[in-house]
Structure 1
Amino acid sequence: MKREEAPKEAVASAATASEDVPTITTDAGSDQGLGLYLYGIADADVQTELGRIGIEENAVYTIPHNGLSAIVHDSPLEPYKSDDEEVVKIWVTTHQQVLDIAEEKFGTVIPFGFDRIIKPEEKVPAKDVLNNWMADEFDSLKDKIERIRGKKEYGVQIFYIPSVMSEKIVAESEEIKKIKEEMDSKSPGTAYMYKQKLEIAIKKEMESRMVSHFKDFYERIKKHAVEIVVEKTKKTDEKDKQMIMNLSCLVAEDRYKELGAELEEIDNEEAFSVRFTGPWPAYSFV
């Protein structure tokens, strides 16, 4: 099992931090026709330029407020849109890279999801809208910084192969063996009914085992994580593989190797495989 470090899917759609974040813009902030594209809020009180590292090579800079700094670039008011998936992928990757650079420079950064644009309000430039919001949300922002300080987010997806699991059940379950023996001794017409009974019994046992495995895996993973968010499972591209677990894990920076070792053990279990991704900014925990 190899830990993946490709851009996380959630970056493109996550709207992290408060849902009450205002719509921003700087000199964009002081221009009513421009907004501010918000990457994140850093645990630093500094006014600086990071260079043209932003989406579409926009100049990224910080707007400090009372010990915190918003990481932004001047932006049109319309969101970034494209029918070209590769273009969107580049935008999302760049968004991620800006956050990575900001974390290296400033330390803890509250990440915001892709395409968060702060807009000016009536006669109030976006920079002032941003500063007002940061003042209103100051305590909440500080709490979030403390929550994620020294930690990273990792994605854990666990899959199983139903056909392999079904074979294990048939080989191990006394109830299933009994139904099979009864079916083998019946006439073809009656055997068909037993076949249906067998399929129902296997399905029931499969569901029971998956619940048990979920609980077991969750407890094993929890030992190495500060917090866990259980996400919805997704369909896979592989026909004979199903996702049993989809987790976002907040992990202390010095514990991810222990988590990786635990997941390696799960990955080696018959019928199971693991996808381990990260580290990411803690999108799911702010």
Structure 2
Amino acid sequence: MSEPETSFDEGRYLYCVVTDGDGSLSTTGLEDEQVRVIREAGLVAVVHDCSSLYDSDSATEIQRWILAHQSVVDDAGEAFGTPLPFQFDTIVRGDDEAVRSWLREEEATLTDHLEALAGRWEYRIEVVWDEDAAREELEAADDELQQLAERRDSADEGTGFLLNKQYETRLDQLLSEQRRAEAADLAERIGSEVTELVDLGERSTVGLDVGGADEEVDVLARFAVLATDDEQEAVGLLLDDVAADPGIEVRFTGPWPPYTFTPELGEEGPDASDEV
């Protein structure tokens, strides 16, 4: 797909698509643009008129735009039910008829996705652990570490340096294995309670992070889950048990529109700039 032009004669900024119903929407979006809906084929596209992509060298401005985008998707979800959200700066080139034409062409695909998401919302889970405490437990329990420590402490400076590197390598390996094992166990337990789970690892994402952007924490696992209200309650109870461990802190946020679970619509879908 070729790089999109940054400006054009006419376009519609696309926030999301929802299933048509009795809902109505009155809100403003990026730069206080008036948001409106375009109906076609049993679907509703939530848009505002535009003639360029939203591009800036200011990270603060881009973050403000992304939050405004998410706010509109939230409002659409409240008005119509679970939306199919699109990434920031997704544009349909042309007028309202271009949007209607796209909705007609993609009716089957969009309807299938909306039906799969209906009544389900995204939740984010971050599990933080006391890594220092985990290290101390491993140091006390692992025979190989204890042997390396004894040899290191009685060796000369050069040999002691090499033995200490072996010690730290072994400790880091054990810690990584423990983190992976505990994260996999959590994923299995949580995954059995929800419609779908995505392991986010330690990656950060814009807008929906459960931790503060500047906050340094030792992350054991991060997940996004797609869940009904009943499934969300079951996950909450499970996470209460997880958080009962004195070395564990759990952060559970939502409901959010299902950004993580929105499928790619392929090259026939609307144009979009790179997501920041």
TM-score bracket for this pair, using the shorter chain length = 0.7 to 0.9
Residue of structure 1 aligned with 2:45, choices 57, 64, 70: 70
Seen in structure 2, the aligned counterparts of structure 1 residues 63 and 263 have a Cα distance that, compared at 3 Å, is same
Seen in structure 2, the aligned counterparts of structure 1 residues 163 and 141 have a Cα distance that, compared at 3 Å, is same
Q: How many residues align?
A: 251
* Cα root mean square deviation, aligned: 3.0
Aligned residue identity for 1:91: W
Aligned residue identity for 1:92: I
Seen in structure 2, the aligned counterparts of structure 1 residues 270 and 189 have a Cα distance that, compared at 3 Å, is farther
How far did 1:169 drift?
0.4
- List per-residue Cα deviations over 1:136-156 (Å, max 9, x = no partner): 211111111111111110122
Q: Counterpart of 1:13?
A: none
Aligned residue identity for 1:97: S
How far did 1:175 drift?
2.9
Residue of structure 1 aligned with 2:193, choices 208, 214, 224: 224
**TM-score, length-scaled by structure 1:** 0.75
Aligned residue identity for 2:14: L
Seen in structure 2, the aligned counterparts of structure 1 residues 189 and 115 have a Cα distance that, compared at 3 Å, is closer
- List per-residue Cα deviations over 1:209-236 (Å, max 9, x = no partner): 1221121111122122210122352378
Aligned residue identity for 1:38: L
1:110 matched to 2:84: yes
The whole-number CA distance in structure 2 between the counterparts of 1:177 and 1:212 is 23
Aligned residue identity for 1:225: V
* Matched ranges for 1:32-111 at <5 A: 33-44=9-20, 50-76=25-51, 78-111=52-85
Residue of structure 1 aligned with 2:105, choices 136, 141, 145: 136
Seen in structure 2, the aligned counterparts of structure 1 residues 186 and 278 have a Cα distance that, compared at 3 Å, is same
Aligned residues of 2:126 and 2:219 also touching (Cα < 8 A):
yes
- List per-residue Cα deviations over 1:117-142 (Å, max 9, x = no partner): 2112xxxxx32222222122111111
Residue of structure 1 aligned with 2:168, choices 192, 199, 217: 199
Q: Which moved more, 1:144-153 or 1:111-120?
A: 111-120
The whole-number CA distance in structure 1 between the counterparts of 2:243 and 2:187 is 14
**TM-score, length-scaled by structure 2:** 0.78
- List per-residue Cα deviations over 1:100-132 (Å, max 9, x = no partner): 222222223211122212112xxxxx3222222
Segments of structure 2 that go 5 or more residues without pairing to the other structure are 205-212, 263-276
Aligned residue identity for 1:279: P
Percent sequence identity over aligned pairs = 29
The whole-number CA distance in structure 2 between the counterparts of 1:192 and 1:96 is 52
SS of 1:34's partner is strand
The whole-number CA distance in structure 2 between the counterparts of 1:171 and 1:83 is 51
The whole-number CA distance in structure 2 between the counterparts of 1:265 and 1:36 is 47
Aligned residues of 1:49 and 1:61 also touching (Cα < 8 A):
no
How far did 1:43 drift?
0.6
Aligned residue identity for 1:280: W
How far did 1:35 drift?
1.0
Q: Counterpart of 2:133?
A: 164
Seen in structure 2, the aligned counterparts of structure 1 residues 45 and 190 have a Cα distance that, compared at 3 Å, is closer
The whole-number CA distance in structure 1 between the counterparts of 2:67 and 2:161 is 55
The whole-number CA distance in structure 1 between the counterparts of 2:176 and 2:201 is 17
Aligned residues of 2:82 and 2:257 also touching (Cα < 8 A):
no
The whole-number CA distance in structure 2 between the counterparts of 1:268 and 1:188 is 44
The whole-number CA distance in structure 2 between the counterparts of 1:238 and 1:86 is 18
Aligned residue identity for 2:181: S
The whole-number CA distance in structure 2 between the counterparts of 1:93 and 1:207 is 35
Aligned residues of 2:195 and 2:225 also touching (Cα < 8 A):
yes
Q: Counterpart of 2:93?
A: 119
SS of 1:36's partner is strand
The whole-number CA distance in structure 2 between the counterparts of 1:62 and 1:209 is 50
